Chains A and B, each alone.
Chain A
Amino acid sequence: MAKKNAAPKTMGFEEPLIQLRKKIEELKEYTATADVDLSSEIDSLEERLAGLENDIYENMKPWDRVQVARHPDRPTTLDYIPLIFKDFIELHGDRLYGDDEAIVGGIGSFDGQPVTIIGHQRGKDTKENIRRNFGMPHPEGYRKALRLMKQAEKFNRPIVCLIDTKGAYPGKAAEERGQSEAIAKNLVEMAGLEVPVLSIVIGEGGSGGALALGVGNHILMLENSTFSVISPEGAASILWKDSALAQTAAEAMKITAPDLFGMKIIEAIIPEVRGGAHHHYEKQAEMIAQAIRNSFEELKGLSGEELIDQRYKKFRSIGIFSE
């Protein structure tokens, strides 16, 4: 995990921290070379830094979270898999058309139990992003996912889905091959799976393309992940004809983990390493593993039929209206 140690790319809301850190560095450098003792000044600045970090990271605005969720160094499905699961073997292809690398899947073990793991996969650089189509699947990606879910059901092993996509790919070939049908079928078929299904949003949960891996017994979200019907930019351009208002839209659309928890759409929020998951992959993976353990523990007593029933009740109850 070399990425962990690389200087993290910073985000706008972190600007005051960067300034302060720079100043402390400068003072330290100065003390080292000059004959003045500034250690008490440095101490007080470091104290201020700690306070500021608290202020900023404990009070993150929706738009701050969007930025963290999209951070180029944010861990992806393939970063988490070796840290959470053992013996992972990737399985490819939908057996119908091709292998969509925007979704990866396979088998492995968790706490000694065989599981199926499926997740959106985006790239971290241009080359990998082109290969992974920026984590935006075609129909064959969703069909591969469904094939692996059905396989999991046959061998009675739980399924863990990691959600991290801007959305299903809006392309010509995707439409020709039935993007709508591929997503729709996953929703219906996931509803009928007789094994426990966990859906964990690890980054961006963009619309139908995210939901196609989201019909789980439990939906969990990382603290700084988002789940939305449309991107903040898209919402701003539709609602106010101005995509520059994305920041306002991010607040108005209620897309953060605490928002969804409040609307009773998700079961739990998985805490993140301070400042975002990209600051420490291993620690973050351990927090996710703990959440998976908790969910499995809660669901383990349920029979196949009871799992279907639990999923039914969960989604059946979502919606706000009066009568």
Chain B
Amino acid sequence: MAMIREIFKRNKDKQGTTMPNKDSKDIPEGLMTKCPSCKQITLTKELKSLHKVCPKCDHHFKMTAYERVESLLDEGSFESIDDHIKSENPLGFPAYTDKIRSDSEKTGLNEAVLTGTGKLNGQEIVVAIMDSHFRMGSMGSVVGEKITRAVEAATVKNLPFVIFTASGGARMQEGVLSLMQMAKTSVALKRHSSAGLLFVSVLTHPTTGGVSASFASVGDINIAEPKALIGFAGRRVIEQTVREKLPEDFQTAEFLLEHGQLDAVVHRADMKEKLSTIVRLHTKGAV
């Protein structure tokens, strides 16, 4: 009797161990990526070769700044500048310094924008790529300073300036200093523009607030990625102010295109060719 019980017990144990558990059912982390829009599961490797665009629904995944460099610029052509500038905590906000440090470790960036020179089909440009994985891409003193220096470098070298924006706006923790970065980048862009040089702004998801209301909107040519959220005020704030439900596509790239606020909406797979053509058409003797 006891033996029989033993047998059942053992069986129970055995069954317990052979039951596929939850962990083994899951896909190893990072191997596959699920589209947040259509739930399609794609091999991460494949997704990368598709410039992080879902093959089923065309959803444009957020890109890190380094992924953008890889997807856009000629291989090995990118040289970063101003990686050494560090944020301070000018208003003494608690935990701000720690947050910066942890985002810096997470992204490998010193701040929410990566700047440098690179080549687009052999043509040299100065580029700034914002990364929304770093403090939501918000602009404080360092982001403003890095973009300003990049614009100045473009002016000195007589080169086009291309920016990929991705930002929630000004950075609260640096207060009015953040706000003033809108003016700082603007005075630098004015000088670049007065020198007759080309500025292309590529607005990616999301571009809002103070970034939308400064350099992002004043390119000689303004391009956006499909479905990117672009706007000055937040949807919730507007809904509370006007007390009405806003249309589904409100503040999307397509909405802005329809309202005359953009030159074009460009699919990421075509971005390099389009940008490269635009640069070529602005280069003397290159056409």
Residues of A within 8 A of B (CB): 168-172, 174-181, 183-185, 187-192, 207-208, 211, 214-215, 227-230, 235, 238-239, 252-255, 259-260, 263, 265, 311-312, 315-316, 318-323
Contacts and interface: CB of A to CB of B under 8 A. Distances in A.
Given A178-B259, A184-B214, A208-B232, A170 B182 contact: no
Contact of B86 (A168, A185, A322): A322
Contact of A174 (B144, B181, B232): B232
29 contacts: A168-B232, A170-B241, A172-B246, A175-B232, A183-B232, A188-B186, A190-B186, A191-B187, A192-B194, A214-B183, A215-B187, A228-B179, A229-B175, A229-B176, A230-B170, A254-B175, A255-B176, A263-B176, A263-B177, A312-B188, A316-B188, A318-B177, A319-B144, A319-B145, A319-B180, A320-B90, A321-B88, A322-B85, A323-B85
B183 A175 contact: no
A277 B259 CA distance: 42
B109 interface: no
Interface in B219-252: 230-234, 237-238, 241-242, 244, 246, 250-251
Given A170-B238, A207-B170, A207-B210, 5 more contacts: A174-B232, A178-B259, A191-B187, A265-B176, A320-B90
Contacts of B144: 319
Given A180-B231, A215-B183, A318-B180, A253 B91 contact: yes
Interface string B67-101: 00000000000000000111110110100000000
Q: Which of B213, B231, B238 has the largest count of A CB atoms less than 10 A from its CB?
A: B213
A247 to B, nearest CB: 16
Contact of A253 (B87, B175, B191): B175
Contact of A316 (B174, B187, B233, B261): B187
Contacts of B215: 184
A201 to B, nearest CB: 11
Nearest to A323: B85
A96 to B, nearest CB: 11
B141 A319 contact: yes
Interface residues of B, number: 59
B259 to A, nearest CB: 5
A319 B181 contact: yes
B115 interface: no
A320 B141 contact: yes
A194 to B, nearest CB: 11
A184 B175 contact: no
B193 interface: yes
Contacts of B209: 208
Pick the 8 closest A-B CB pairs, nearest first: A170-B233, A319-B141, A187-B186, A191-B190, A184-B217, A180-B212, A229-B179, A191-B187
